[in-house]
Structure 1
């Protein structure tokens, strides 16, 4: 089963977000709110936290995702194992949302980059199975996350330029 139909590639926000990579950054909370609303209208589940780092933040973030495992917060390797086996059925996809990711990054830049890298890998594995999984992070400043899965994450300052926006 394909992750996206040809028609979906022409009109949906999630396609453009995933096309640019599994992790997308937002400077504006209003823009992030708009994208979350669009994803919910497409049938996405949303798991969201504000700031934090390490095991407490991950546990809070994953508590609303069905069939997550508590061991997922022990370290990023365990997080990868848990994310790769998430059951995403019953939804169009899942989006993890971290607002004030600058706080997460400031507390431990290596851990924050590692989390983004883990989500990128898990997203790729889900796409191979026809599932959609992504992460949206918000920070008032663009953060130097480096390359994730061979690409630098996009930082959105405006709406995606997909055909979806043009057809509205």
Structure 2
């Protein structure tokens, strides 16, 4: 137990904060959960704030608790705060995204693996996620990998030029 890393608590990093201007002109800070661009190129933010709340208990009476409220707002209603790191909100480049599920055969299948879209109901939950390149290698490799006939990943997956 001499290792200091063993004593460190397992705490996930807090999401970055942003300044939100409310319709009445007030400002508040909210946690940025996600951001994405709309069709016109503007940013929309998924935000969350924690507010005090009351819980009624017959034995102990009212007690103080908190409740998280989620909402969405566009830029410029949402402004970045200087010094906050928003890089965790950015998606990795397309070539590094794991967009396919490679799952083992179910039952007595003749294939070594099946390739699915990640949200396919036919995919086994124990399969791993793979990138486009890894999916193409699996389909072309010596093992028999079959694209799912339900979600049809082969209709979207394309070979690089």
Tell me the TM-score range normalised by the shorter chain. under 0.3
If you compute each CA radius of gyration, which structure gives the higher value, 1 or 2?
2
- TM-score, normalising length from structure 2? 0.20
- TM-score, normalising length from structure 1? 0.20
If asked which structure has higher relative contact order (CA below 8 Å, sep 6+), I would say: 1
Structure with the larger helix share: 1
Structure with the larger strand share: 2
